[in-house]
Protein backbone atom coordinates (compact mmCIF):
# COMPACT_ATOMS: atom_id res chain seq x y z
CA UNK A 1 0.00 0.00 0.00
CA UNK A 2 1.29 3.45 -0.93
CA UNK A 3 0.21 6.70 0.76
CA UNK A 4 0.88 10.04 -0.93
CA UNK A 5 0.39 13.28 1.00
CA UNK A 6 -0.91 16.37 -0.80
CA UNK A 7 -0.79 18.65 2.25
CA UNK A 8 -3.52 19.77 4.64
CA UNK A 9 -5.78 16.71 5.17
CA UNK A 10 -5.48 15.24 1.68
CA UNK A 11 -4.05 11.75 1.24
CA UNK A 12 -3.99 9.66 -1.91
CA UNK A 13 -3.87 5.90 -1.30
CA UNK A 14 -3.02 3.16 -3.79
CA UNK A 15 -3.83 -0.41 -2.76
CA UNK A 16 -3.85 -3.51 -4.95
CA UNK A 17 -4.75 -1.58 -8.10
CA UNK A 18 -7.35 0.63 -6.42
CA UNK A 19 -6.78 4.39 -6.12
CA UNK A 20 -8.44 6.56 -3.48
CA UNK A 21 -8.14 10.17 -2.41
CA UNK A 22 -9.37 11.66 0.88
CA UNK A 23 -10.45 15.31 1.22
CA UNK A 24 -8.87 16.56 -2.04
CA UNK A 25 -8.09 20.22 -1.42
CA UNK A 26 -5.45 21.08 -4.02
CA UNK A 27 -6.34 24.23 -5.93
CA UNK A 28 -6.03 27.06 -3.42
CA UNK A 29 -3.93 24.93 -1.08
CA UNK A 30 -0.47 26.53 -0.85
CA UNK A 31 0.98 23.22 0.37
CA UNK A 32 -0.23 21.13 -2.58
CA UNK A 33 2.08 20.34 -5.48
CA UNK A 34 -0.45 18.52 -7.70
CA UNK A 35 -3.14 19.90 -9.99
CA UNK A 36 -6.66 18.40 -9.76
CA UNK A 37 -6.65 17.56 -13.48
CA UNK A 38 -3.64 15.27 -12.94
CA UNK A 39 -5.25 13.18 -10.18
CA UNK A 40 -6.26 9.67 -11.30
CA UNK A 41 -8.46 7.86 -8.79
CA UNK A 42 -11.40 5.48 -8.58
CA UNK A 43 -12.93 6.82 -5.33
CA UNK A 44 -13.08 10.18 -3.57
CA UNK A 45 -13.68 10.03 0.20
CA UNK A 46 -14.91 13.11 2.06
CA UNK A 47 -15.09 13.72 5.81
CA UNK A 48 -17.22 16.88 5.82
CA UNK A 49 -18.42 19.79 3.75
CA UNK A 50 -15.94 22.59 4.43
CA UNK A 51 -14.26 24.05 1.37
CA UNK A 52 -10.77 23.00 2.46
CA UNK A 53 -11.91 19.35 2.40
CA UNK A 54 -14.50 19.19 -0.38
CA UNK A 55 -12.08 21.31 -2.41
CA UNK A 56 -11.63 19.75 -5.84
CA UNK A 57 -13.70 16.63 -5.16
CA UNK A 58 -16.35 17.29 -7.78
CA UNK A 59 -13.84 18.03 -10.54
CA UNK A 60 -11.75 14.97 -9.68
CA UNK A 61 -14.81 12.72 -9.43
CA UNK A 62 -16.18 13.85 -12.80
CA UNK A 63 -12.80 13.68 -14.54
CA UNK A 64 -12.31 10.08 -13.41
CA UNK A 65 -15.92 8.84 -13.30
CA UNK A 66 -15.01 8.15 -9.67
CA UNK A 67 -17.47 7.47 -6.85
CA UNK A 68 -17.73 9.97 -4.00
CA UNK A 69 -18.07 8.29 -0.59
CA UNK A 70 -19.27 10.75 2.05
CA UNK A 71 -21.72 11.32 4.91
CA UNK A 72 -25.25 11.18 3.54
CA UNK A 73 -26.17 14.86 3.20
CA UNK A 74 -22.81 15.73 1.68
CA UNK A 75 -23.02 12.77 -0.71
CA UNK A 76 -26.52 13.78 -1.83
CA UNK A 77 -25.33 17.34 -2.46
CA UNK A 78 -22.41 16.07 -4.53
CA UNK A 79 -24.83 13.86 -6.46
CA UNK A 80 -27.03 16.83 -7.31
CA UNK A 81 -23.95 18.35 -8.97
CA UNK A 82 -23.40 15.31 -11.15
CA UNK A 83 -21.06 13.08 -9.16
CA UNK A 84 -21.49 9.34 -8.72
CA UNK A 85 -22.05 8.81 -5.00
CA UNK A 86 -22.23 6.27 -2.23
CA UNK A 87 -23.72 7.81 0.94
CA UNK A 88 -22.76 6.49 4.37
CA UNK A 89 -23.38 7.76 7.87
CA UNK A 90 -21.73 7.64 11.26
CA UNK A 91 -21.42 4.11 12.60
CA UNK A 92 -22.27 2.64 9.21
CA UNK A 93 -19.87 0.72 7.03
CA UNK A 94 -19.79 -0.80 3.56
CA UNK A 95 -17.52 -3.25 1.75
CA UNK A 96 -16.23 -1.73 -1.49
CA UNK A 97 -14.03 -3.51 -4.06
CA UNK A 98 -10.95 -1.97 -2.42
CA UNK A 99 -11.94 -2.69 1.21
CA UNK A 100 -14.35 -1.59 3.92
CA UNK A 101 -15.14 2.02 4.88
CA UNK A 102 -16.70 2.88 8.22
CA UNK A 103 -17.55 6.40 9.34
CA UNK A 104 -16.86 7.51 12.89
CA UNK A 105 -18.03 10.60 14.70
CA UNK A 106 -16.01 13.80 14.60
CA UNK A 107 -16.68 16.97 16.59
CA UNK A 108 -16.61 19.82 14.11
CA UNK A 109 -18.94 21.52 11.58
CA UNK A 110 -19.93 20.73 8.03
CA UNK A 111 -21.13 23.48 5.74
CA UNK A 112 -20.12 24.86 2.37
CA UNK A 113 -19.70 28.65 2.29
CA UNK A 114 -20.95 30.55 -0.76
CA UNK A 115 -19.25 33.90 -0.25
CA UNK A 116 -20.95 35.89 -3.00
CA UNK A 117 -24.38 34.98 -1.61
CA UNK A 118 -23.32 35.18 2.04
CA UNK A 119 -24.78 31.72 2.43
CA UNK A 120 -23.67 28.56 4.23
CA UNK A 121 -25.11 25.30 2.89
CA UNK A 122 -25.51 22.83 5.75
CA UNK A 123 -24.13 19.43 4.75
CA UNK A 124 -24.92 17.16 7.68
CA UNK A 125 -22.59 15.89 10.37
CA UNK A 126 -18.81 15.70 10.00
CA UNK A 127 -17.11 12.32 10.22
CA UNK A 128 -13.87 10.48 10.57
CA UNK A 129 -13.02 7.54 8.32
CA UNK A 130 -11.92 4.03 9.19
CA UNK A 131 -10.46 2.55 6.03
CA UNK A 132 -9.81 -1.20 6.12
CA UNK A 133 -7.52 -2.24 3.28
CA UNK A 134 -6.39 -5.85 3.34
CA UNK A 135 -4.66 -6.43 6.66
CA UNK A 136 -4.23 -2.73 7.43
CA UNK A 137 -6.61 -0.21 9.01
CA UNK A 138 -6.23 3.54 8.52
CA UNK A 139 -8.03 6.05 10.74
CA UNK A 140 -8.42 9.48 9.13
CA UNK A 141 -9.90 11.50 11.97
CA UNK A 142 -11.18 14.31 9.77
CA UNK A 143 -11.45 17.70 11.42
CA UNK A 144 -12.22 17.14 15.07
CA UNK A 145 -11.59 18.10 18.62
CA UNK A 146 -10.51 15.51 21.15
CA UNK A 147 -13.28 13.17 22.28
CA UNK A 148 -13.12 10.22 24.66
CA UNK A 149 -14.72 7.72 22.24
CA UNK A 150 -11.40 7.71 20.42
CA UNK A 151 -10.52 5.12 23.06
CA UNK A 152 -13.40 2.98 21.81
CA UNK A 153 -12.31 3.39 18.19
CA UNK A 154 -8.87 2.08 19.12
CA UNK A 155 -10.30 -0.81 21.13
CA UNK A 156 -12.81 -1.91 18.50
CA UNK A 157 -10.61 -1.40 15.44
CA UNK A 158 -6.86 -1.97 15.87
CA UNK A 159 -5.41 0.93 13.89
CA UNK A 160 -2.20 0.68 11.91
CA UNK A 161 -2.01 4.32 10.76
CA UNK A 162 -3.81 7.28 12.35
CA UNK A 163 -3.98 10.61 10.52
CA UNK A 164 -4.64 13.22 13.21
CA UNK A 165 -5.14 16.99 12.91
CA UNK A 166 -2.73 19.09 14.98
CA UNK A 167 -3.38 22.62 13.71
CA UNK A 168 -5.34 23.93 16.71
CA UNK A 169 -7.80 26.86 16.33
CA UNK A 170 -10.27 24.83 14.20
CA UNK A 171 -9.31 21.31 15.38
CA UNK A 172 -7.23 19.58 18.02
CA UNK A 173 -3.91 21.17 18.75
CA UNK A 174 -0.71 19.17 19.33
CA UNK A 175 -1.38 18.49 23.03
CA UNK A 176 -4.86 17.10 22.44
CA UNK A 177 -3.65 15.19 19.39
CA UNK A 178 -1.00 13.58 21.57
CA UNK A 179 -3.74 12.33 23.89
CA UNK A 180 -5.75 11.16 20.87
CA UNK A 181 -2.75 9.16 19.67
CA UNK A 182 -2.50 7.46 23.06
CA UNK A 183 -6.20 6.61 23.02
CA UNK A 184 -6.33 5.35 19.43
CA UNK A 185 -3.20 3.21 19.98
CA UNK A 186 -2.16 3.31 16.33
CA UNK A 187 1.11 1.73 15.25
CA UNK A 188 1.96 4.93 13.35
CA UNK A 189 0.64 8.50 13.58
CA UNK A 190 0.79 11.03 10.74
CA UNK A 191 0.01 14.66 11.66
CA UNK A 192 -2.22 16.61 9.27
CA UNK A 193 -4.25 19.84 8.99
CA UNK A 194 -1.41 22.20 9.93
CA UNK A 195 0.71 24.99 8.33
CA UNK A 196 -1.69 25.50 5.41
CA UNK A 197 -2.70 28.90 6.78
CA UNK A 198 -1.18 31.18 9.46
CA UNK A 199 -3.93 30.31 11.97
CA UNK A 200 -2.90 26.65 12.03
CA UNK A 201 0.89 26.90 12.00
CA UNK A 202 2.48 24.13 14.09
CA UNK A 203 5.78 22.31 14.47
CA UNK A 204 4.94 18.80 13.26
CA UNK A 205 8.44 17.53 13.98
CA UNK A 206 8.11 18.59 17.63
CA UNK A 207 4.77 16.76 17.74
CA UNK A 208 6.41 13.58 16.43
CA UNK A 209 9.23 13.90 18.97
CA UNK A 210 6.62 14.11 21.73
CA UNK A 211 4.90 11.03 20.32
CA UNK A 212 8.16 9.11 20.35
CA UNK A 213 8.81 10.18 23.95
CA UNK A 214 5.61 8.29 24.79
CA UNK A 215 6.66 5.24 22.79
CA UNK A 216 4.40 6.04 19.82
CA UNK A 217 5.78 5.95 16.29
CA UNK A 218 5.12 9.08 14.27
CA UNK A 219 6.16 10.40 10.90
CA UNK A 220 5.97 13.84 9.31
CA UNK A 221 5.00 13.50 5.66
CA UNK A 222 5.97 16.45 3.49
CA UNK A 223 3.54 17.55 0.80
CA UNK A 224 4.30 15.60 -2.35
CA UNK A 225 5.88 12.70 -0.43
CA UNK A 226 4.91 9.06 -0.93
CA UNK A 227 5.52 6.28 1.58
CA UNK A 228 4.98 2.56 1.26
CA UNK A 229 3.41 0.69 4.19
Q: Which residues of the chain have pLDDT under 70?
A: none
Residue 72 located in a structural domain: yes
Residue 53 located in a structural domain: yes
Interacting residues of 80 by C-beta distance below 8 A, sequence separation 6+: none
CATH of residue 95: 3.60.15.10
For 115, 175, 224, the CA distances from 118, given in Å and listed in that order, are 5, 35, 34
Residue 135 located in a structural domain: yes
| 212: containing domain | 2-221
* Per-residue pLDDT tens digits for 72-84: 999 999 999 999 9
155, 157, 126, 20 alpha-carbon torsion, rounded to 10°: 160
Q: How many domains does the chain have?
A: 1
From 96, 102, 98, 66, select the one nearest 84 (Cα to Cα).
Answer: 66
162, 178 Cβ separation under 8 angstroms? no
CA 149 from centroid of its chain's CA atoms: 18
Burial (CB count within 10 angstroms: exposed 0-12, middle 13-18, buried 19+), residue 5: buried
* Per-residue pLDDT tens digits for 131-143: 999 999 999 999 9
Amino acid sequence: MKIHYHGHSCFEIHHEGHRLIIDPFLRGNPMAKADPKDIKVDYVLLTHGHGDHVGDALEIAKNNDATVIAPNELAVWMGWQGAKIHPLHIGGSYAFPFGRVKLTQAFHGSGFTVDDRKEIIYLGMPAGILLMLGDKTIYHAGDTGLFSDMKLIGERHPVDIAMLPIGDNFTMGPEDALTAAEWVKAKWVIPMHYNTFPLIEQDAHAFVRNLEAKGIKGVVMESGETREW
